[in-house]
A = this chain, B = another copy of it.
Amino acid sequence: MLEAQLNEASILKKVLDSIKELVTDANFECNDEGINLQAMDNSHVALVSVKLERVGFANYRCDRPIPLGVNLNSLTKVLKCAKDDDMCTIKASEEADVLNLVYEAKSSDRIAEYDMKLMDIDSDQLGIPDTEYDAQVTMASSEFARIVRDLSQLGESVRIEVSKEGIRFASDGESANGSVLLKHSADAPPGKDEEDEEEKDSEDEEEEDEDGEKKEKKAKVKKEKDAEDVDMENGDGDEEEKGSDDEDEEDSSSKKRKKKATKSKPSKKAKKDKKKKEKIKEEPEMQGVNIQLNQLVSLTFSLKYLVNFSKSSNLAKNVRLLMSSDVPLLVNYEFGQGHIRYYLAPKIGDE
């Protein structure tokens, strides 16, 4: 039996808006940790992976893992019947052939209840390799959306190059070519990601933690010192650091990093829990662009898909692009309650 309650139906609505064009049917895999969805897009070119962590729910109970086969169009319709700030409770019984959704107005004077048929879906649960990416770029999700939308008017595909200089999106079209370069923000403390007020913990989790740190450091440091810094300086800074850093960092705040280095990084979970307690919120929009680069990458992707992915912009202020040569691009949106990740294989040659 599954019973999960969200304080804001809008999260679910946004998730569905994000993926419903890509995928028509999918299994929501519910287990004690939360709810996962993983599916290839209809043309089997892209893969989308959604995670809603149990901590993101006001209430969550899942006695044993259940896959809920959902037609996303139906679910979208049903979710449209929820107002954004309704409390939303979803329930499914053990041999669920129906998903029950209850929307309750905060004022409690309106209660809407929907039952949606479920279906059996063969799940493609593909294992996603845990790649080490050569380039990690974090930027405002709205900026990413704007760029791919703009370029999609010109051509079919975009070449994304990440270098020390920054990240460049270039597209060639019949009537015009376009190129957008985002410089690695010198001053941009990547805004401090979530609030890392607590850094007490121990685990260093993968990349994310690193980021967190960087951000923190950056944020603080820069403000303190370098707020005024100009890009150039930053660039220099970067270069200097490279020698020592290449494993994990590159951005401007390496100094600070060192200081903090003694501390371990906060665990991801810890952070999230905290957030929740405080009031779940996504990280504030970062300023500028944060690039971590091990190796220069240049890959070409279909703009159609990227435009599609960028519909998730309303879920998170920031987006992270992770790339390595000859490996699918990962477009990652983190929001308070989980994440949505898109994988897209690069185009080869000039196809």
Contacts and interface: CB of A to CB of B under 8 A. Distances in A.
Contacts of A83: 146
B181 A115 contact: no
How many copies of the polypeptide does the oligomer hold? 2
Contact of A117 (B111, B176, B178): B176
Contacts of A183: 108-111
B109 A178 contact: no
A254 interface: no
A131 to B, nearest CB: 28
Interface string A145-159: 010001101100000
Contacts of A81: 150-151, 153-154, 178, 180
A176 B289 contact: no
A interface majority secondary structure = mixed
A111 B71 contact: no
B114 A78 contact: no
Contact of A180 (B112, B115, B117, B154): B112
A288 B109 contact: yes
A179 B113 contact: yes
B181 A116 contact: no
Contact of A153 (B77, B115, B153): B77
Nearest to A108: B183
Contacts of A182: 109-110
Interface in A154-206: 154, 175-183, 185-186
A80 interface: yes
A74 interface: yes
Nearest to A111: B181
Nearest to A76: B153
Contacts of A74: 175-176
Contacts of A114: 154, 176-179
16 contacts: A77-B154, A78-B178, A81-B150, A81-B154, A81-B178, A81-B180, A108-B183, A109-B182, A109-B289, A110-B182, A111-B183, A112-B150, A112-B180, A114-B177, A116-B175, A117-B176
